[in-house]
Amino acid sequence: MGFISLQGITKRYGKVTAVDHLNLEIEKGEFHTLLGPSGCGKTTTLRMIAGLEELSEGELFINDRCVYSVPLAKHVAAPDRGVGLIFQSYALWPHMTVYQNVAFGLKEKKFSKDRIRTVVTDMLEKVQMNGYENRYPSELSGGEQQRVAIARMVVTEPPAFLMDEPLSNLDAKLRMRLRSELKRLHNESGATTVYVTHDQVEAMTLSDRITVMQLGLLQQDATPTDLYNTPANLFVADFMGNPQVNKLDGAIAVKDGGKVYSSATGSLTVPLGDDIAGSVSEGQEVALVMHPEWLKASPTPVANSIEMKVYVSLMAGCETLIFLQSDGLSLVTREQGQSDFQADTKVWVTLNRYNLYDMGTESLVGTGGTGESCL
């Protein structure tokens, strides 16, 4: 059993099922992210862990202690669960100074004044808010308020941190800076962290493990690397794409005695390795899915490539996105560095890796490619 164990937990609001029989084990000391689009059930799940929502079905354990059981009619109140909370709205007490906000939990624990002063001063320094002790929340920016909220949660050293999209109201540069602060504080504290976000980049950069949800159902629970490289289904593959993955519908055909993927337009054929070929049948409808960096565009002809034309090239400093078109195909490739591909010029595209999905079940069939072009 994990440090936080969700066993068949379900939450219904009338006829609407927000979370549907979710089973999940979150290990001690893990940074675990609940990821998905709005309305997928991730915030409801976090609120059930926190004790802010009752369960319709199932059981929930924190540190081997049952905190909610529908069969046993057991319910441990939120303040008695030993977890720290941060929400999207910073929820600072407006009538208290920064120092008073951070010190509040320590006062509740009956710490001495000298001990409180030492701990609060150290914590404010960690979140780079030293010197702001006497300011009120109304005198702080959004990023500064969120730093205070983080300090207030961490300072009491709860065994688990629960965070509901705490950085979503901040600008991009500040989000990145506070991500590093959150990760560092997590590593220093050793607390188990459950983090809710709809931002796949934020999830990838922060997490030890990610649970992707959709319509109240768990879609995949995996490490960031596995989630990115081998999404379990088409929903996860599409959601994890940044920019969006290349998805080409097609079917399995037989060519020269071997099975191949053939695009719906007939303009792209990819031979399948023996490991995938044994899992598919001729005529089966499938989708070929590729991250942009799994494709390589060359300004000159190369072996095992397809000829395409540049639709538009978007240089973003450290990388260039190239949108390509040809014979009904539309692809995007990501090139490292500052590439100069002009619109309407010819390029030759090689494919180094791909995932193949069954269109009926939308489940992953297998992964192909060895680092060299597999066209």
Q: What is the pLDDT of residue 73?
A: 94
User: Are the C-beta atoms of residues 329 and 248 closer than 8 Å to each other?
Assistant: yes
pLDDT at position 369 is 85
Of the residues 219, 238, 257, the one at which a domain ends: 238
Is residue 172 domain-resident? yes
The pLDDT, as a whole number, for residue 358 is: 97
Distance CA 80, CA 75 (A): 10
Q: Given this model, what pLDDT does residue 44 score?
A: 97
Distance CA 219, CA 199 (A): 16
Q: pLDDT tens, position by position, for the chain (375 residues)?
A: 899 999 999 999 999 999 999 999 999 999 999 999 999 999 999 999 999 999 999 999 999 999 999 999 999 999 899 899 888 777 899 999 999 999 998 998 889 999 999 999 998 988 889 899 999 999 998 888 988 988 898 888 889 999 999 888 778 888 888 888 888 888 988 999 999 999 999 999 999 999 999 999 999 999 999 999 999 999 999 999 888 899 999 999 998 889 999 999 888 999 998 889 989 999 999 999 999 999 999 999 998 899 999 999 998 888 999 999 998 899 999 998 888 889 999 999 999 999 999 999 999 999 998 767 777
**What is the sign, positive or negative, of the torsion defined by CA atoms of 289, 291, 295, 299?**
positive
Q: What is the CATH number of the domain that holds 358?
A: 2.40.50.140
The pTM for the full model equals 0.91
Q: 170, 222, 219, 220: which is closest to 199 by C-alpha?
A: 170
Instruction: In whole angstroms, give the CA distance from residue 180 to residue 167.
Output: 12
Which DSSP state fits 129?
-
221 and 360 fall within a common domain: no
What is the residue-wise DSSP string for 311-336? Answer: EEEEE-SSEEEEEEEETTEEEEEEEE
Q: Specify if 375 maps to a domain.
A: no
Residue 144: its H or E element: helix 142-154
In a domain, 373, yes or no: no
Q: Are residues 172 and 184 in the same domain?
A: yes
Q: What is the DSSP string of 191-205?
A: -EEEEEES-HHHHHH
Interstrand relation of 160-164 and 83-86 (parallel, antiparallel or unpaired): parallel
Is 9 in the same domain as 130? yes
Residues 183 and 171 in one domain: yes
How many domains in the chain? Answer: 2
Q: Are residues 243 and 231 in the same domain?
A: no
